[in-house]
Structure 1
Amino acid sequence: MLMASTDAVNWQQQAHQFLLAGDYSQAANLYEQAIASEPNNQSHYWHLGLMLLLQEKEAEAQMTWFSAMAAADTDQIDLWTEELIQVLQTEAERRETISDYSVAWIIRQHIREIKPTDINNLLHLIQLGIPLESFTGDELNSFGILEILQSGEAENLDSQLLMEVLQSVLDTQPLHPSSLELAEACIPYIEEPYNFIDILILNSVKIAYSAHKPGLAARLLELALRLEAINPEVLIQLTSFYQDAGEYSQGIKTAKLCYSILPGLAEKVFANHLIIRGLMVAAGEYWSGVGELFERHELLLNSLFEGENNNLDPTTVVRLFSSTYFLPYFQDEIGKNRKLQNQVAQICQANIQKYASDRSSKYSSRRNKENKRLKIGYLSHCLRRHSVGWLARWLFKYHDRDRFQIHTYLINAQKRNDPLQEWYVNQVDKAYKSGLEAAEITEQIYRDEIDILIDLDSITLDIICEITSLKPAPIQVTWLGWDASGIPNVDYFIADPYVLSESAQNYYSETIWRLPQTYVAVDGFEVGVPTLRRKQLNIGNDAVIYFSSQMGFKRNPDIVRLQMKIIKEVENSYFLIKGTADEEAIENFFIQIAESEGVSEERLRFLPDVAFEEIHRANLCIADVVLDTYPYNGATTTLETLWIGIPLVTRVGEQFASRNSYTMMMNVGVTEGIAWTDEEYVEWGIRLGKDAALRQQIAWKLRTSRQTSPLWNGQQFTREMEKAYEQMWLRYLK
Structure 2
Amino acid sequence: MTLSKPHANKNNWQQQAEKYLIEENYIAAASLYEQAIEIEPDIKSHYWNLGLMLLLQGQETEAQMTWLMALSDTEEELYTAELLEVLEKESERRVNIKDYQTAWAICQHIREINPENINNLFNIIKIELLTENFTEHTTILLEFIIELLPKKINNCDFELLLDVIINLLVSKPTEESVFNFFEACLNYYSEPLIIIDTAMLEVINIAVFKKMPGLAARFAECCLHQAPRHRGVITQLSHFYQNSQQYTKGIETAKRYYELATTLADKVSANALIVRAFMTSGSYWQEVCASLQQQVLLAKELIQENPNNLDKATSAVLFNSVFFLPYIYDEPQNNHRIQHEISRLCQQNLIKHYNEISPRQDELLILRKKNAIKDRKTLNIGYISHCLKRHSVGWLCRWLFKYHNPEKFKIHSYFLHDSNTVEQFTKNNFIDNSYKFHQFGIYDYGIWDQIQADEIDILVDLDSITLDHSCELMSIKSAPIQVTWLGWDSSGLPSIDYFIADPYVLPESAQDYYSETIWRLPQTYIAVDGFEVDVPNLRRENLDIPSDAIVYFMTQKGYKRHQEHLQLQLRIIREVPNSYLLIKGDADLESSKEFFEGMAETEGVDFSRLRFLPGAPTEAIHRANLAIADIVLDTYPYNGATTTLETLWMCIPVVTRVGQQFAARNSYTMMMNAGITEGIAWTEDEYVEWGVRLGKDEKLRQQISWKLRQSRQTAPLWNAKQFTRDMEQAYEQMWQRYVDGN
Q: Kindly provide the CA deviation profile for residues 390-438 of structure 1, in whole angstroms up to 9, marking residues without a partner as x.
A: 1112211111222111111111155243222112110111111111136
Which residue matches 2:630?
A: 624
- 1:185 and 2:184 correspond: yes
Which residue matches 1:638?
A: 644
Alignment match of 2:423 (pick from 418, 428, 433): 418
Q: For 1:245 and 1:139, locate their aligned partners in 2 and report how far apart those are by CA, in whole Å.
A: 32
Q: For 1:152 and 1:692, locate their aligned partners in 2 and report how far apart those are by CA, in whole Å.
A: 74
- 1:387 and 2:392 correspond: yes
> Residues 45-444 of structure 1 correspond to what in structure 2 (within 5 A)?
46-65=48-67, 84-89=83-88, 91-92=90-91, 102-131=101-130, 133-136=131-134, 140-144=138-142, 146-149=144-147, 152-154=150-152, 157-160=155-158, 161-284=160-283, 286-364=284-362, 365=366, 366-367=368-369, 368-372=372-376, 373-412=378-417, 414-423=419-428, 424-437=430-443, 439-444=445-450
1:598 is aligned with what amino acid? G
Q: For 2:42 and 2:496, locate their aligned partners in 1 and report how far apart those are by CA, in whole Å.
A: 80
> Residues 570-609 of structure 1 correspond to what in structure 2 (within 5 A)?
570-609=576-615
- CA offset at residue 124 of structure 1? 2.2
Identical amino acids, percent of aligned pairs: 52
Q: Tell me, what secondary structure is at the counterpart of 1:324?
A: coil
- CA offset at residue 712 of structure 1? 0.9
Q: What TM-score comes out, normalization by structure 1 length?
A: 0.93
- CA offset at residue 576 of structure 1? 0.8
- CA offset at residue 55 of structure 1? 2.6
Q: Kindly provide the CA deviation profile for residues 127-160 of structure 1, in whole angstroms up to 9, marking residues without a partner as x.
A: 34455x3453755424355455367343863151
Q: Kindly provide the CA deviation profile for residues 535-570 of structure 1, in whole angstroms up to 9, marking residues without a partner as x.
A: 111111111101011222111211111111111111
Task: Judge conservation of contact 1:91–1:104 (CA < 8 Å) in 2.
Answer: yes
Q: For 1:378 and 1:39, locate their aligned partners in 2 and report how far apart those are by CA, in whole Å.
A: 68
Which deviates more from structure 2 when the two are superposed, residues 298-307 or residues 85-94? 85-94
The number of residues matched between the two structures is 726
Task: Judge conservation of contact 1:208–1:217 (CA < 8 Å) in 2.
Answer: yes
Q: For 2:209 and 2:256, locate their aligned partners in 1 and report how far apart those are by CA, in whole Å.
A: 26
- 1:674 and 2:680 correspond: yes
1:369 is aligned with what amino acid? I
Q: Tell me, what secondary structure is at the counterpart of 1:512?
A: strand
Q: Kindly provide the CA deviation profile for residues 640-699 of structure 1, in whole angstroms up to 9, marking residues without a partner as x.
A: 111111111111111111111111111222222111111111111111111111111111
- CA offset at residue 56 of structure 1? 2.6
Which deviates more from structure 2 when the two are superposed, residues 625-634 or residues 697-706? 697-706
- CA offset at residue 272 of structure 1? 0.6
Q: Tell me, what secondary structure is at the counterpart of 1:241?
A: helix
Using a 3 Å threshold, how does the CA distance of structure 1 residues 568 and 376 change in structure 2: closer, same or farther?
same
Aligned-residue CA RMSD (Å): 2.7
Task: Judge conservation of contact 2:149–2:185 (CA < 8 Å) in 1.
Answer: no
Q: For 2:100 and 2:578, locate their aligned partners in 1 and report how far apart those are by CA, in whole Å.
A: 72
- CA offset at residue 94 of structure 1? 6.1
Which deviates more from structure 2 when the two are superposed, residues 109-118 or residues 542-551? 109-118
Alignment match of 2:510 (pick from 494, 501, 504): 504
Q: For 1:93 and 1:526, locate their aligned partners in 2 and report how far apart those are by CA, in whole Å.
A: 50
Alignment match of 1:719 (pick from 714, 725, 734): 725
Q: For 2:95 and 2:711, locate their aligned partners in 1 and report how far apart those are by CA, in whole Å.
A: 67
Q: Kindly provide the CA deviation profile for residues 697-719 of structure 1, in whole angstroms up to 9, marking residues without a partner as x.
A: 11111111112211111111111
Q: Kindly provide the CA deviation profile for residues 618-655 of structure 1, in whole angstroms up to 9, marking residues without a partner as x.
A: 11111011111111010111111111111111111111
Q: Kindly provide the CA deviation profile for residues 320-359 of structure 1, in whole angstroms up to 9, marking residues without a partner as x.
A: 1111110100111111111111111111122223332443
1:548 is aligned with what amino acid? M
Task: Judge conservation of contact 1:631–1:653 (CA < 8 Å) in 2.
Answer: yes
2:544 is aligned with what amino acid? N
- CA offset at residue 236 of structure 1? 1.6
Q: Tell me, what secondary structure is at the counterpart of 1:269?
A: helix
Which residue matches 1:529?
A: 535
2:738 is aligned with what amino acid? Y
Q: What TM-score comes out, normalization by structure 2 length?
A: 0.92
Task: Judge conservation of contact 1:496–1:519 (CA < 8 Å) in 2.
Answer: yes
- CA offset at residue 13 of structure 1? 5.8
- CA offset at residue 448 of structure 1? 0.9
Q: For 1:685 and 1:270, locate their aligned partners in 2 and report how far apart those are by CA, in whole Å.
A: 39
Task: Judge conservation of contact 1:35–1:44 (CA < 8 Å) in 2.
Answer: yes
Using a 3 Å threshold, how does the CA distance of structure 1 residues 501 and 17 change in structure 2: closer, same or farther?
closer
Q: For 1:349 and 1:94, locate their aligned partners in 2 and report how far apart those are by CA, in whole Å.
A: 45
Segments of 5+ residues of structure 2 without an aligned counterpart are: none
Segments of 5+ residues of structure 1 without an aligned counterpart are: none
Q: For 2:29 and 2:500, locate their aligned partners in 1 and report how far apart those are by CA, in whole Å.
A: 74
Task: Judge conservation of contact 1:414–1:434 (CA < 8 Å) in 2.
Answer: no
- CA offset at residue 193 of structure 1? 2.6
- CA offset at residue 615 of structure 1? 0.7
Using a 3 Å threshold, how does the CA distance of structure 1 residues 88 and 443 change in structure 2: closer, same or farther?
closer
Task: Judge conservation of contact 2:143–2:177 (CA < 8 Å) in 1.
Answer: no
Which deviates more from structure 2 when the two are superposed, residues 115-124 or residues 143-152? 143-152
Q: Kindly provide the CA deviation profile for residues 602-624 of structure 1, in whole angstroms up to 9, marking residues without a partner as x.
A: 11111111111111111111101
Task: Judge conservation of contact 2:187–2:226 (CA < 8 Å) in 1.
Answer: no
Using a 3 Å threshold, how does the CA distance of structure 1 residues 416 and 7 change in structure 2: closer, same or farther?
closer
Task: Judge conservation of contact 1:138–1:178 (CA < 8 Å) in 2.
Answer: no
Which residue matches 2:27?
A: 25
Task: Judge conservation of contact 2:146–2:184 (CA < 8 Å) in 1.
Answer: no
2:538 is aligned with what amino acid? L
Which deviates more from structure 2 when the two are superposed, residues 165-174 or residues 375-384? 165-174
Using a 3 Å threshold, how does the CA distance of structure 1 residues 354 and 266 change in structure 2: closer, same or farther?
same
Q: Tell me, what secondary structure is at the counterpart of 1:154?
A: helix
Q: For 2:345 and 2:561, locate their aligned partners in 1 and report how far apart those are by CA, in whole Å.
A: 31
2:186 is aligned with what amino acid? I
1:58 is aligned with what amino acid? E
Which residue matches 1:538?
A: 544
Task: Judge conservation of contact 1:438–1:467 (CA < 8 Å) in 2.
Answer: no
Q: For 1:30 and 1:704, locate their aligned partners in 2 and report how far apart those are by CA, in whole Å.
A: 85
Task: Judge conservation of contact 2:639–2:666 (CA < 8 Å) in 1.
Answer: yes
Q: For 1:102 and 1:480, locate their aligned partners in 2 and report how far apart those are by CA, in whole Å.
A: 49
Q: For 1:30 and 1:435, locate their aligned partners in 2 and report how far apart those are by CA, in whole Å.
A: 49
Task: Judge conservation of contact 1:140–1:146 (CA < 8 Å) in 2.
Answer: no
2:274 is aligned with what amino acid? I
Which residue matches 2:666?
A: 660
1:360 is aligned with what amino acid? S
Which deviates more from structure 2 when the two are superposed, residues 244-253 or residues 133-142? 133-142
Alignment match of 2:499 (pick from 490, 493, 502): 493
Q: For 1:541 and 1:727, locate their aligned partners in 2 and report how far apart those are by CA, in whole Å.
A: 54
Task: Judge conservation of contact 1:318–1:466 (CA < 8 Å) in 2.
Answer: yes
